[in-house]
Amino acid sequence: MNMQTEQHVIDGVTYTFRQANFMAARTAAMSLLGILKGGVKSTGAKPEVDIGAMLENLGSPQIQSVEQFILGTLEVKNENGQIVLLKNVDASNEHFNKHRSHYYALMFKGVQFHFMDFLPAWAVSKANTKLQEVKAQLDATDQPMSIG
C-alpha cells in the first residue's frame, strides 16, 4: 500500500506526516467535528470563529485523541538528523520543550493533511479558509506559531 506523505521544515527540523489508515483517520475526524461544534458559526458571508469556545476544548478528551492521532502519524528528524517518535510521551515532551513554537503549526498542518480529503472539493476551500481565520486570530493573541 502506497501511503501519502507531506513534509514541512520548521527551524531546521523536518516533520513528515504519514497518511493513516481510513478507520483511524475517520475516528479522529469525528472527534474533531465534536470540537468544532459551537466554535465556528456562519452568520452570513463570513464565518465567525469563537476562539473562546475553541480554547475551552483544548483539554477535552476529543482534542487529546486528535492530538495523539496527529503525533502518532508524524515522523520528526531533528536538527541533528536524529529521528524522534512523538507518539512516545517522553520524546514528545523533550522535543516540544525545545521547539514549543512548532506545536500549533503542526496541529494545524496535521488537521489539513489528515482530514481535508474527507470533505468534498467545494468544502475544502471553505475549511481551509476557516482554519486560516483561526490561525490569524491565534496569531493576533500573540500565541507562538510558525508555519513553514
Q: Is the pLDDT of residue 12 over 70?
A: yes
Tell me the pLDDT of the chain averaged across its residues. 79
pLDDT value, residue 146: 44
Residue with more model confidence, 147 or 67: 67
* pTM, full prediction: 0.70
Q: Is the per-residue pLDDT at 132 higher than 80?
A: no
pLDDT in tens, 95-128: 999 999 999 889 888 988 888 777 655 455 565 6
Residue 147 has pLDDT above 80, yes or no: no
Angstrom CA distances, 91 to 6, 41, 71, 76, stand at 21, 37, 11, 11
| pLDDT band, very low/low/confident/very high, at 49 (cuts 50, 70, 90) | low
Distance CA(114)–CA(144), nearest Å, equals: 23
CA atoms within 13 A on the CB side of 129: 11
Binned at pLDDT 50, 70 and 90, residue 83 comes out as: very high
End-to-end CA distance of the chain: 28
106 vs 46: which has the higher pLDDT: 106
Given a cut of 50, whether residue 46 has pLDDT beyond it is yes
Q: CB neighbours (10 Å) of residue 144? A: 12
